[in-house]
Structure 1
Amino acid sequence: MPRILTYNVRRCLGTDGRLSPGRIADVIAAYEPDVVALQELDVRRARTGGIDQAHAIAQALGMQMHFHASLRVMEEEYGNAILTHRPSHLLKAGALPGRTGRLAPEPRGALWASIDFGGTDVQVITTHLGLRRNERLAQVERLLGPQWLGHPACREPVILLGDFNASPRSRAYQRLASRLRDVQAAIPHHRAQPTFPSRMPMLRIDHVFVSRSIHVVRVESVRSPMARAASDHLPLMVEFQVMPVRGHKIGVEHLHE
């Protein structure tokens, strides 16, 4: 049964102060996911030893990787990635709304790949939203609009996942939940599991949202001792089934901004 996992890795810097892409890969490998969405990856950044963390983790897991840099300074990059061992095509990678200028908050982006699950193309979009309420709302509206979830190519089945920096009581979360189902609310009698902070998780800000043709079987916030140390977030793993979908397969051409 397919599994997908979302994980904010905090540039692979653990709560114990240890920097280790390999440990992040080990946390992920223990759950054998088909698809992994990663946030806060450093690529060739001096502060993390110049390592391409996205490539290193993908290589350790034997997966192909799609990366989008939400921040780029010279050769240094920072952003999000989708990893998978299944056939996949990058459809779109782009920035989300945010203030610009010297004192602007960290820029945000999203990444969309079409992934083949036994002949059915699942549209997987990952993102990492901002810290400010108005910023998050603008970013959610962009994701719900015609460039992303509202695009004609973004048809069933769809999975939207990542670090939304938004609790279930927030307007940003509620806007998304009005269009897609939160996997933690999709299983009867399931007790919602927080993912942040990893040492003593209290907040539910990492989410997986799915369309109606995704049947959620199991949801687990990964709480192994290694996961508690590897990042300040815990991974969220979802086991699911893709239900039959009518209609033609989506094309694989890249969607431009």
Structure 2
Amino acid sequence: MQLRLLTYNIHKAIGGVDRRYRPERIIEVVAYYNPDVICLQEVDEGVKRSQFHQQAEMLADAWGYAHRCYQRNVTVKDGHYGNAIISRWPLTDPVDVDLTIPLKKRRQALVARCHPRHEGHERTLGVASLHLGLAGFERKRQLRRLLSCEALSHFSPRTPLLLAGDYNDVYGELGRAVMRPAGFARAGGAPRTFPAAAPLRSLDKVFYRGEIAPLHTFTGRTKLARQASDHLPLIADFELTGMADG
């Protein structure tokens, strides 16, 4: 069974160059790649700059996906923004994992169970949508906290886990320093996702563990994708390789 995951820092659906709020661009960019599971970061809820839209609900409805969960991360004066997971398959047991480091901006990860179905068979995989901090020491501490959290400890070593999002990992240190020792590998090489108009940095990543194999990882580099946000979407195709569950 194959699945496609797309992770995308949508920048509240505000263009990285023109600074205009155009959610229809995000809708079209994501729909073009037809993902099964979508991990979003910087999703607005009830904020004036994004017309007070409930973006997670609005986007999921536009894509026709019945399953979604949203995590309030940063509170602003008229609302909040955070991470979301949207899926064509059922999502259960969503958990907010606090990654905030003292004296730093509030950061969280959203973890959920996803239940793909294929030819009458159901599988379970863990999915996390995360947005790490800007300082190197902060990112390492946040990631170690996530890897040791109770929500992830409930998954068996064989159960597929996908940790996707904006890692802000400018120098590519997290894979070697944190993820590899924990048994995770990175899907794909180092596709550049930021800034969207002329990408120079590989900030967005997908790490995986368990009975799942990467097939292909690439960035969405359409003309519209270069305009819709300040990040490009990252798309990763996988094959579920075993029968693990739990």
TM over 0.5: yes
Are positions 1:209 and 2:199 aligned together?
no
Query: Which residue matches 1:39?
Result: 41
Q: What per-residue deviation string (whole Å, max 9, x for no partner) do you get for residues 11-61 of structure 1?
A: 110122221122101100001000000000110012222111111111100
> How far 1:94 sits from its partner (Å)?
2.9
Gaps (5+ residues) in structure 2?
none
Query: Which residue matches 1:3?
Result: 4
> How far 1:146 sits from its partner (Å)?
3.6
Q: What per-residue deviation string (whole Å, max 9, x for no partner) do you get for residues 74-96 of structure 1?
A: 76121000001112213311321
Matched residue type, 1:43? E
Q: Is the 8 A contact 2:41 2:130 kept in 1?
A: yes
Q: Is the 8 A contact 1:168 1:174 kept in 2?
A: no
Matched residue type, 2:21? L
Matched residue type, 1:30? Y
Q: 1:71 aligns with which of 65, 70, 74?
A: 74
| CA distance in 2: counterparts of 1:114 and 1:28, whole angstroms | 22
Query: Which residue matches 1:188?
Result: none
Query: Which residue matches 1:230?
Result: 228
| CA distance in 2: counterparts of 1:173 and 1:232, whole angstroms | 26
CA-atom RMSD in angstroms: 1.8
Rate the CA distance shift 1:21–1:77 in 2: closer, same or farther, 3 A.
same
Q: What per-residue deviation string (whole Å, max 9, x for no partner) do you get for residues 204-251 of structure 1?
A: 1100011141111111111000000000100000111111134xx43x
Rate the CA distance shift 1:146–1:55 in 2: closer, same or farther, 3 A.
closer
Rate the CA distance shift 1:173–1:205 in 2: closer, same or farther, 3 A.
farther
| CA distance in 1: counterparts of 2:156 and 2:95, whole angstroms | 11
* The 10-residue stretch of structure 1 (226-235 or 10-19) with the greater mean CA deviation from structure 2: 10-19
SS of the aligned residue for 1:97 comes to coil
Q: 2:184 aligns with which of 180, 186, 195?
A: 180
Query: Which residue matches 2:165?
Result: 162
| CA distance in 1: counterparts of 2:22 and 2:85, whole angstroms | 19
| CA distance in 2: counterparts of 1:125 and 1:180, whole angstroms | 13
**Within 5 A, what are the aligned runs for 1:42-191?**
42-63=44-65, 64-73=67-76, 76-99=79-102, 104-118=103-117, 119-149=122-152, 151-153=153-155, 155=157, 156-167=159-170, 169-171=172-174, 174-178=177-181, 179-185=183-189
| CA distance in 2: counterparts of 1:170 and 1:141, whole angstroms | 13
* The 10-residue stretch of structure 1 (122-131 or 172-181) with the greater mean CA deviation from structure 2: 172-181
Would you say how many aligned residue pairs link Structure 1 and Structure 2?
A: 237
Rate the CA distance shift 1:157–1:48 in 2: closer, same or farther, 3 A.
same
> How far 1:171 sits from its partner (Å)?
4.5
Q: Is the 8 A contact 2:9 2:233 kept in 1?
A: yes
Sequence identity of aligned pairs in percent? 32
SS of the aligned residue for 1:215 comes to strand
Are positions 1:18 and 2:20 aligned together?
yes
